[in-house]
Amino acid sequence: MTKVVPSKSTIPVFGLDGESAKTVSLPSVFTTVVRRDIIRKAVVAIQSHRVQPQGRDVFAGMRTSAESRGTGLHLARVPRVKGTRSPRAGQGAIATMTVGGRSAHVPMPEKKIYKRINRKERLLAVRSAIAATGRSDLVASRGHASSKVKEFPLVVVDEIESLKDVESVKGALEKLGVWEDILRAKSRVGVRAGVGKRRGRRAKKAVGPLVVVAEEKGIRRAARNLSGVDVVKVERLSVEALAPGTHPGRLTVWSESALKKLNEIYE
């Protein structure tokens, strides 16, 4: 558990030029105690909902007519295909005749993978993850390059929701001090080791800034090719988006309207 950090009553709202434009009252959700244990439990539950059950065929290696002829024939007692003398070691119905033995403790489709979490715990996890975005120490401990960010939580005027092209988004994020973290995420894109690179997950990517908006008016399309950047509406905030990998403190950019909606959603 992380101790409560005294919250400010107001916080500056920055313009797209990086200068403070006005102040706004900070929602009380940012005073929530950061519960790492509850956040981890919620994220693991969400991730378990995407896992596909799998199992092994109980008749694997047993669909053959081969069987051992027994003793007294001056032949090895391995299973042989009926009508021939061809051995079928590794495919017989006798487990002891299988080359290397059969797999032990194989995955079973009956295994309970879907994890559940109580509604109040889930809401507390989201509130804790939101509060963590307003803590500069947690953002830095997560590995984000946030030394140029002037204030936490970082609140921007609503014009950021209407940016239509990547150059405008880049210019705004540079002025806000967030672009450094995008460069960090871009430098950490690498090719995955193993066969996973042939199964639709070739690249391993770092997580960058999260942009939370009240209305999506073009910024999602404009920022979709920026490394590590995610854009999400405040109503669809999830603990996994705020604390990827169960680690709270993601570098987050809040639009002014999205910040005000937090009072309606989490009060």
Print pLDDT tens along the chain (267 aa): 555 554 578 999 999 999 998 999 999 999 999 999 999 999 999 999 999 999 888 777 667 777 888 899 888 888 788 888 777 655 444 444 555 556 778 888 899 999 999 999 999 999 999 999 999 999 999 999 999 999 999 999 999 999 999 999 999 999 999 999 999 999 999 999 999 999 999 999 999 999 999 999 999 999 999 999 999 999 999 999 999 999 999 999 999 999 999 989 987
Is 254:231 a contact under the CB 8 Å cutoff? no
pTM: 0.83
* Arch. (CATH architecture) of 10-51+113-266: 3-Layer(aba) Sandwich (3.40)
In three-state secondary structure terms, 14 is: strand
Strand partners, 262: none
CA distance 149 to 57: 55
Vertex 167, ends 129 and 206: CA angle to 5°? 40
Is 239:46 a contact under the CB 8 Å cutoff? yes
- DSSP of 204-222: E-----EEEESS-SSHHHH
**Cα(39)–Cα(242) distance, integer angstroms:** 10
**Helix pair angle (119-132, 256-266), 10° resolution:** 150
Residue 43: both structure tokens together: 């994220």
Q: How far is CA 75 from the centre of its chain?
A: 58
Distance CA 76, CA 97 (A): 11
